[in-house]
Amino acid sequence: MDVDRFLQTLARSEPPAGLTPALEGLWWGLKGAWDRAHRLVQAHEDDPACAWVHAWLHRIEGDLGNAGYWYRRAGHRPARGSTEEEGRAIARALLGG
């Protein structure tokens, strides 16, 4: 799946089948379902991709200290710019494009 197709699925009520936990968490986060997204990625906190999405979610929440912790765990620098832009950038990276 490419990033454009992934973003188009946000119009649906459920994520597409077969997404990794990180992509599913990102999908729910982009839909505005913060709690659901957070629970999902938190259950896979040893996965660097989930840690990255986890950081992004805490950035959305405004908890920058906690976000910083998760960015470090993910091996990424804290993002600048909008959280919407960052979510799309994470999608591109995780989908390989």
Mean pLDDT, the chain cut into blocks of 10 residues (97 residues total): 94 96 98 97 96 98 96 95 96 92
Domain ranges in the chain are 3-94
Percentage of residues in the chain having pLDDT higher than 70:
99
Contact 50, 26 (CB under 8 A): no
- What local confidence, expressed as pLDDT, does residue 90 receive? 97
For 18-30, what is each residue's pLDDT tens digit?
999 999 999 999 9
- What local confidence, expressed as pLDDT, does residue 93 receive? 97
Contact 8, 33 (CB under 8 A): no
- What local confidence, expressed as pLDDT, does residue 97 receive? 67
